[in-house]
């Protein structure tokens, strides 16, 4: 599933649950299948890995994210991002996971448009 969703190889030590309610673990949970959206819900270790690879990431300005992230706060976005993709957003002091509203190519170019629907803050 990771290869399909993100195009990367990332090994987990164990898988818990019965399909479709699967959770992937190393020392901590790294991802789980989110049946509402039909994709993987990303946790800290996997988010950190995607951040190091700079894939499906959006760099934002330093502000406290409380809800939807708008295009005005975007510094850089991965051009591979498509609407509804799970993305990792980050700044100098925050890392979080959200769902893209628009493509990575449009992020930061369109003023006042919602770009990421926040799911959770990891740090």
What's the chain's average pLDDT? 92
Q: Tell me the whole-structure pTM to 2 decimals.
A: 0.91
Across residues 66-70, what is the average pLDDT? Answer: 91
Q: What is the pLDDT of residue 2?
A: 87
Q: What is the pLDDT of residue 37?
A: 83
**Burial code of 13-32, b = ≥16 C-beta within 10 A, e = fewer?**
eeeeeeeeeebbbeeebbbb
Distance CA 36, CA 66 (A): 22
* Contact status, residue 114 vs residue 101, Cβ threshold 8 Å: yes
Q: What is the pLDDT of residues 1-18, one digit of tens each?
A: 889 999 998 888 999 999
If pLDDT is split at 50, 70 and 90, which confidence band does 20 have?
confident
Please report, for the domain that includes residue 20, its CATH number.
2.30.130.10
Give the range of the structural domain holding residue 86, as residue numbers without chain letter.
2-121
Report the number of distinct structural domains present in the chain.
1
DSSP H helices in 1-123: 2-6, 44-53
Distance CA 42, CA 19 (A): 17
């Amino acid at each position: 599933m990771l290869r399909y969703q993100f195009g990367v190889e990332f090994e987990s030590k164990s898988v818990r649950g019965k399909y479709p309610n699967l959770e992937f673990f190393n020392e901590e949970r790294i991802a789980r299948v989110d049946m509402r959206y039909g994709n993987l819900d990303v946790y800290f270790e996997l988010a950190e890995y995607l951040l190091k690879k700079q894939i499906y990431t959006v760099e934002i300005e330093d502000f406290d994210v409380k809800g939807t992230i708008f295009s005005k706060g975007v510094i850089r976005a991965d051009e591979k991002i498509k609407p509804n993709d799970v993305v990792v957003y980050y700044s100098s002091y925050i890392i979080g996971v959200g769902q893209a509203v628009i493509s990575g190519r449009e992020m930061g170019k369109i003023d006042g448009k919602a770009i990421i629907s926040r799911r959770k803050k990891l740090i």
